[in-house]
Amino acid sequence: MDEQHYQQRLEQFESEGRRRHLRAVEPLGGGMRCRVDGREVVNFSGNDYLGLSQDERLKDAARQATERYGTGSGGSRLISGNHPLFAALEKKLAAFKHTEAALVFNSGYQANISVLQAIAGAGDYIFSDRLNHASLLDGCRLSGAKFRRYKHLDYARLESMLAKTPRDAVKWIVSDSVFSMDGDCADLDVICDLAERYHAFTLIDEAHATGIFGGTNRSGLCEAHGVSQRVTLQMGTFSKALGGFGAYITGSETMIDYLANTARGFIYSTALPPGVVAANHKAVALVQAEPALQKRLWENTRLFDELSGNMAGLTASPTPIKPVIVKDSDKALRLSAALLEAGFLVQAIRPPTVPENTARLRITLSAAHQPEDIKTLVQTLESFLKN
Ligand SMILES: *Cc1c(COP(=O)(O)O)cnc(C)c1O
């Protein structure tokens, strides 16, 4: 065997419009501006929904914690890496999410794969929305549980699956609350009703809802629907609206204690650095204290909706995630390249990230966008789509 095997596979990806390339995206401070291929553009592809990654108060928090405790944590949480900032952050998260307890993980991907492995195994059942994030799918596979995927948002189908499962088996329903590539939402009330009726636990991934939806805390869709206490585990990330890095799980004292004892990604990985944890803490505090952040995000989202009413391929969504489905991967790549020329970073999202024949441009709005930039983006994209 030689590496030719892999070279051929890369060429195959190329011919299918699936090859991916890394390119440098240099942030230029506020307004979602960045430099790509030597060109200054506005980023409409990020998940920095509140613009917090560039906030001076988060940078200060990171700097101060780094000065005090150093750049690395030097060990896993259970050995020697559990610096004092973790307990403060986890206490804050539990209150933020209206739960008893919280546990910080190193990333959302890692949290999902390790939590699913910990909570379910051979003989147990997991029911998962077909459009759930890849990390949930990978966690379901790794767990060794029997796992079934129901058609996206098809809760009648979910119910018939649950009804066929032994009553006393351990069952989990797993769903994104906001779906990352489509920007639509799960019906959390129905999921909780079904879970209670069929004695199932629930794991809800709030990666794209935290800081965007909610009640007084703006902690996510579980809070918005008043189901924070009915959901067994809420997962969320610091890497999107919170402008930082890492993830967390919230739930009862029992479940969080169990995860700290069993989640392999928690046990066998070095704890997040002090600077990262301090910035995350500051972000949670700001989201709770400053409703103006969400207000700007929703004003920008509404502006985009008003301007783009007739855009071909645009799927309406109740979130700042706006997919423009063009189906063909090459076409999505061509449009993305043309938008970059015109000053906008809008990535093409292609299979296998999304289902076959649903390649799309995924536009995301942020509180940090200037209204002028949103107007120009819509005009430019509409003119490209017409030609
Ligand atoms: C981004 C994302 C993750 C992964 O989180 P990271 O912190 O980026 O690893 C998990 N679930 C969903 C729904 C996501 O969108």
Q: Which atom of ligand 1 is nearest to the CA of 179?
A: 13
pLDDT score recorded for residue 212 = 97
Task: Estimate the crossing angle of helix 188-197 against helix 155-163, to 10 degrees.
Answer: 10
Q: How would residue 59 be classed by pLDDT, with cut points 50, 70 and 90?
A: very high
The predicted model gives 277-306 an average pLDDT of: 97
| Model confidence pLDDT, tens digit, residues 312-342 | 999 999 999 999 999 999 999 999 999 999 9
Phi, then psi, of 354 in degrees rounded to 5: -120, 160
Q: Which of 133, 181, 347, 349 to mutate to test the pocket of ligand 1 (most atoms within 8 A of CB)?
A: 133
pLDDT score recorded for residue 257 = 98
The predicted model gives 279-300 an average pLDDT of: 97
Q: Which atom of ligand 1 is nearest to the CA of 180?
A: 15
Q: Which of 107, 109, 152, 349 to mutate to test the pocket of ligand 1 (most atoms within 8 A of CB)?
A: 109
| Model confidence pLDDT, tens digit, residues 179-210 | 999 999 999 999 999 999 999 999 999 999 99
pLDDT score recorded for residue 262 = 98
244 Cα–ligand 1 center, Å: 12
Euclidean distance between CA atoms 24 and 36, whole angstroms? 6
Q: How would residue 96 be classed by pLDDT, with cut points 50, 70 and 90?
A: very high
pLDDT score recorded for residue 65 = 98
Ligand 1 site residues, Cβ closer than 6 angstroms: 107-109, 112, 133, 135, 176, 180, 205, 207-208, 237, 239, 247
Torsion of CA 234, 237, 238, 239, to 10 degrees: -170
171 Cα–ligand 1 center, Å: 23
The answer on pLDDT for 75 being more than 90 is yes
Residue nearest atom 14 in ligand 1 by C-alpha distance: 207
Euclidean distance between CA atoms 78 and 75, whole angstroms? 8
The predicted model gives 57-66 an average pLDDT of: 98
pLDDT score recorded for residue 202 = 98
pLDDT score recorded for residue 33 = 97
pLDDT score recorded for residue 287 = 98
The answer on pLDDT for 60 being more than 80 is yes
For the chain, give the mean pLDDT: 97
pTM: 0.97
The predicted model gives 227-233 an average pLDDT of: 98
286 Cα–ligand 1 center, Å: 21
Q: Which residues are catalytic?
A: 180, 208, 240
| Model confidence pLDDT, tens digit, residues 238-265 | 999 999 999 999 999 999 999 999 999 9
Residue nearest atom 5 in ligand 1 by C-alpha distance: 108
pLDDT score recorded for residue 18 = 86
pLDDT score recorded for residue 387 = 76
pLDDT score recorded for residue 283 = 98
pLDDT score recorded for residue 1 = 76
Contacts of 331 (CB under 8 A, 6+ apart): 359
CA distances to 30, 106, 140, 376 from 147, rounded to whole Å, are 43, 25, 7, 45
210 Cα–ligand 1 center, Å: 12
pLDDT score recorded for residue 171 = 98
The answer on pLDDT for 61 being more than 90 is yes
Percent of the chain with pLDDT over 70: 100
| Model confidence pLDDT, tens digit, residues 126-170 | 999 999 999 999 999 999 999 999 999 999 999 999 999 999 999
State the DSSP H helix or E strand holding residue 201, giving kind and residue range, or none if neither.
strand 201-205
**3-state SS, residue 13:** helix
132 Cα–ligand 1 center, Å: 10
